[in-house]
Copies of this chain bind each other. A is one copy, B any other.
Amino acid sequence: MSTASTTDLYEVTMALSYLAEGMTEPATFDLFVRDLPDDRGFLVAAGLEPALDYLSGFRVTREDVEAFAAVLHRPAAELEPLLGLEFTGGVRAVPEGRIVLAGEPLLEVTAPLPQAQLVETYLLNLVSHQTMIASKAARCVLAADGRPLVDFSLRRTHGVQAGMQVARLGALVGFAATSNVAAAVAYGIAASGTMAHSYVEVFPSEEAAFRAFARSHPGPVTFLVDTYDTEQGLTTAARVLRELGRGPGCAVRLDSGDLAALAVRARQILDDAGLPLVRIVASGGLDEYAVDDLVGAGAPIDVFAVGTRVGVSADAPYLDTAYKLVAYRGEPVMKLSAAKMTLPGPKQVFRRPGYDDVIALRDEPPPPDGEPLLLPAMADGRRTREPYPVTDARQRFAADLAGLPPAARRIHHPEPPHATLSEALTALTGRVRHRIEEDVVGAHRRPAPREYVPRPAGRRPGDGGGRAP
């Protein structure tokens, strides 16, 4: 099976019906985040480069057709119309690393309807997961306020593939290193790692453990000092480092207890031992909230290692993403529903200074000072540009972060900027809604919105927060 089988079955049943009905004209879908989780003042667009890789290689193989037939309990011949189907469409995307807001399309796919439908599940998966992680990691960067961050998440991400992505996305927002060897090599990230408590335990003493480690690692070493008693561990570490003549580049790691108080004590002990250049690394259940507290308390911590809670985005482990049809056969389409109306038509997002974003129709002239966020990425099923390296994304993120309003940068209770809708998009939304209400629903007309209004924070079953296929 190819990646084409890694999909919700309904994409296949819908595509088959479209082919049977001859409904193969171009459709445009928007991929966007309906609203932000609590404690998110912004999102960092990510998953777009992997999405382009996926689309470039998309092809329904013989094995996929057999898989579809098997799960549908139908003869393979009936699924033959899907055989060989490739993605021949166009894509516009927000480049990875850019900051985006609720309602703004991150990705726009325009392709023959069956193709545009078949790729939905996989695209949603990539962009949802990666944008969520990049956004969580970005908050750690804000909290660390210039101090280096290291990704320690691999052991508890949702599978090792997720762990690879977390390392990449940490680097994308400016993390200094990862503990993940495979990711460090694959993405050109610095790797970081030292010793576990079990290492200290198998030696007769902490001192014996530290000396043994230094013997086989002639470069800078980091000693884990909290296996037994942290104060004693610090004293031992300082003595061994001094006696071995190590110092610059070396560090001690605190992994438990009152990290702020222990860091102060660690700094004293190291300074008293004449080791002012030995750094203090903190780890153990850290996330942006804990880092913010430690930085706010003035703890003399030089490096923060964040793990599980960042690697799974523990306080918001999913995003309310949507992949919605906005046009078919050149006609704008929208979904009507009080709770989750969509905006019709192909779009552009214009960023004005201060994140005064405007969601507009694709062909509108840009407003003064408006920079378009959606850029061409694929045409006729092929990339129209080279893949952007992670370093480019990192620069884009740093530049966007610099201009983000203070209220959106807060760790606790941030206030996200809201995009407004252009007059033309507002007018089109009103017209399409009116047409649907008259033609399809027969209901009464409601006034059209002027601003992208996310749904209220308190979610109920049946009201999003994990929309089902």
**B-binding residues in A (CB < 8 A):** 1, 3, 5-14, 16-17, 20-21, 23, 27, 29, 67-68, 70-74, 113, 117, 120-122, 124-126, 128-129, 133, 152, 154-165, 179-182, 184-185, 190-199, 201-202, 204-206, 212-213, 215-217, 219, 226-229, 232, 254-259, 282-287, 289-290, 293-294, 305-309, 312-314, 317-319, 321, 324-325, 328, 333-337, 339-340, 436, 439-441, 443, 459-469
Contact = CB atoms under 8 A, between A and B. Distances in A.
Contacts of A282: 462
Contacts of A198: 29, 117, 324-325, 333, 335
A161 B163 CA distance: 11
B229 A193 contact: no
Given A12-B181, A160-B125, A160-B161, A202 B27 contact: yes
19 contacts: A1-B185, A8-B154, A8-B193, A9-B184, A17-B216, A70-B185, A120-B155, A152-B469, A155-B469, A158-B312, A159-B162, A162-B162, A201-B334, A204-B440, A206-B440, A256-B337, A285-B462, A285-B465, A312-B317
Contacts of A287: 461, 466
A325 to B, nearest CB: 4
Contact of A201 (B21, B313, B335): B335
A129 B154 contact: no
Copies in the complex: 2
Contacts of A325: 198, 201-202
A178 to B, nearest CB: 8
B14 A196 contact: yes
A17 B156 contact: no
A113 B254 CA distance: 24
Contact of A20 (B17, B158, B215): B215
When A and B form their complex, which 8 residue pairs have the shortest distance between CB atoms, in order from nearest?
A: A308-B466, A9-B193, A290-B461, A71-B191, A283-B468, A10-B193, A158-B158, A198-B325
Contacts of A283: 468-469
Nearest to A206: B440
B285 A335 contact: no
A122 B181 CA distance: 12
A180 B464 contact: no
B152 A436 contact: no
A330 to B, nearest CB: 13
A156 B179 contact: no
B293 A461 contact: yes
A72 to B, nearest CB: 7
Given A162-B161, A201-B325, A71 B181 contact: yes
Given A21-B216, A160-B161, A185-B70, A196 B314 contact: no
Given A215-B20, A318-B312, A202 B156 contact: no
Contacts of A72: 191, 219
Of residues A257, A335, A461, which shows the largest number of chain B Cβ atoms within 10 Å of its Cβ? Answer: A461
B256 A339 contact: yes
A316 to B, nearest CB: 9
